Amino acid sequence: MKAADFDYLRPSSLAEALTCLSQNVGVAQPLAGGQSLMPMMNFRVATPEVLIDLADIPDLRGVTELDGMLRIGAMTTYRDLTRITDRVPLLGLALPHIAHDAIRNRGTIGGSVALADPAAEMPALLLALGGVIELAGPDGQREVAADDFFQGYYATDRAEDELIVAIRLAVAKPGDSFGFYELTQRHGDYALAGVAIAHAPDLRIAFFGISDRPIRLPELEAALTAGTDPGPALDQIEFEGDLKASAATRRHYARVVLDRALAGMTS
């Protein structure tokens, strides 16, 4: 299929982009790597009248480090993230599971977070690392903790006239350890179930691919910290089924990925 007709804007600054967006609220969509948006447009599932390409905006690019935090521009591609895996080892564990080289060359961290696919790795990784999402809108900038950002299937706290500007993640410290495990029948597919774990030094565990959003359960973290059975905490999750796995299968898989990720924590 071919995309429905649309106008194409290519602003060169964040301010200009925000103006474009607020002038077209409801009919415009930002374009980052296009690895999700373009297929949706070609299926005519997404039919934006205006496409605002974020490719030329310097404020959305680059990675800087300050006070033990990394600030990663929204337009940073998965491929570029491989350069900072020594600072954020969990990225190194997760990135090889995201799609394939061609997609990783274009897909962006901002796009993944904005899309909020419940089976995507990046949102869960942000939850596990206690990441922060920086947003800019007509009324200025604000920041939201990852814990509060993801609200359901493809739903986030981002307002329609806002852009994700950057993601902030803590740099790993000596003694921190991390775990990651995901189940896919074919390499690079979206996860049937997955989990990202940070022990830095608090234990934070985020599942993906099992519910309508990435899931973090304080009860589960408490149970594991206390060395008790995590089963009851897992039962609180509202598991979702689809063509590839029923909710019951996902419940089963959640335990499998959890056990395997814990068994494979980095030291």
Partner 1 sequence: MTGPATIFDRPNRYIGQPTPRADAARLLAGRGRFVDDIQLPRMVHAAFHRSPHAHARIVSVDVTAARAASGVLGVWTGAEMAALVTPYVGVLTHMAGLRSAPQHPLAVDVARWQGEPLVMIVARSRAEAEDAAELVEVDYEELPPACDATTALAKDAAVIHADFGSNLAWERKVDVGDIDAAFAQPGVQIVEREFRFGRHTGVTLESRGTVCEFDPSEGCLTMHYSGQAPHMMQVILSRLMSLPEENVRVISNDVGGSFGIKIHTYGDELAAAVAARALGRPVKFVADRMESFLTDIHARDHVVKARMGVTASGTIVGIDMHDLTGIGPFSMYPRTSAIECNQVLNLTGAPYTMQHYRAHGQVVFQNKNLMCQYRAVGHPIAMAVADGLLEDAARVIGMDPVELRRRNLMADDSYPRSSTAGMKLDDLSHQAALKKLCEIMDYDGLRAEQARLREQGIFRGIGFVSMVEVTNPSPMFYGIGGAPIASQDGATVRLDAGGALHVSSSITEQGQGTNGILAQIAAGVFGVDIDRVKVTTGDTGTVPYGGGTWASRGAGIGGEAMLLAAQALKEQVLDVAAVMLQSEPGLLDIRGGAVVDAATGAERMGLADLARTVYYRGNELPSDLKPELIATRHYRVTDFPFVFTNGAMAAHVEVDPETGFVKVLHFWAVEDCGRVINPMLVDEQVRGGVVQGIGGALYEECLYSDDGQLLNATMADYMVPMAAEMPEITVAHIETPTKTSFLGAKGAGEAGTGGAPAAILNAVNDALQPMGATIWQMPMTPERILKVLGKV
Site for partner 1, residues 19 to 48, rule: CB under 8 A: 39, 43-44
Sign for the pseudo-dihedral over CA of 66, 70, 71, 77: positive
Residue 185 CB, shortest distance to partner 1, in Å, is 6
Partner whose footprint covers residue 120, from partner 1, ligand FAD, none (CB < 5 to 8 Å by kind) = ligand FAD
173 in contact with partner 1 (CB under 8 A) = no
Segment interacting with ligand FAD, rule: CB under 6 A, options 95-103, 126-134, 139-147, 224-232: 95-103
Site for ligand FAD, residues 6 to 45, rule: CB under 6 A: 29-37
Residue with tokens 């190194």: 92
106 in contact with partner 1 (CB under 8 A) = no
Sign for the pseudo-dihedral over CA of 46, 103, 53, 114: positive
Residue, CB closest to ligand FAD: 111
Binding-site member from 3, 46, 103, 171 for partner 1 (CB under 8 A): 3
DSSP 96: G
267 in contact with partner 1 (CB under 8 A) = no
Q: Which residues fall within 8 angstroms of residue 109, CB to CB, at 6 or more apart?
A: 72, 74, 76, 77, 78, 81, 122, 167
Partner whose footprint covers residue 164, from partner 1, ligand FAD, none (CB < 5 to 8 Å by kind) = ligand FAD
Segment interacting with partner 1, rule: CB under 8 A, options 53-61, 150-158, 220-228, 247-255: 247-255
Distances in whole angstroms, Cα of residue 112 to Cα of each of 24, 79, 164: 22, 13, 11
* Cα 165 from chain centroid (whole Å): 14
2 in contact with partner 1 (CB under 8 A) = yes
156 in contact with ligand FAD (CB under 6 A) = no
**Inter-residue contact 135 to 129 (CB < 8 Å):** no
Q: Which residues fall within 8 angstroms of residue 102, CB to CB, at 6 or more apart?
A: none
245 in contact with partner 1 (CB under 8 A) = yes
- Residue-by-residue DSSP string for 33-82: S-TTHHHHHHTTS---SEEEE-TT-GGG--EEEETTEEEEETT-BHHHHG
Helix or strand run (H / E) with residue 21: helix 14-23
Partner whose footprint covers residue 30, from partner 1, ligand FAD, none (CB < 5 to 8 Å by kind) = ligand FAD
Residues that bind partner 1 (CB under 8 A): 1-5, 39, 43-44, 183, 185-190, 192, 243-246, 248-249, 251-253, 256
Residues that bind ligand FAD (CB under 6 A): 29-37, 54, 74, 98-99, 103, 107-108, 110-112, 114-115, 117, 120-122, 163-164, 188, 190
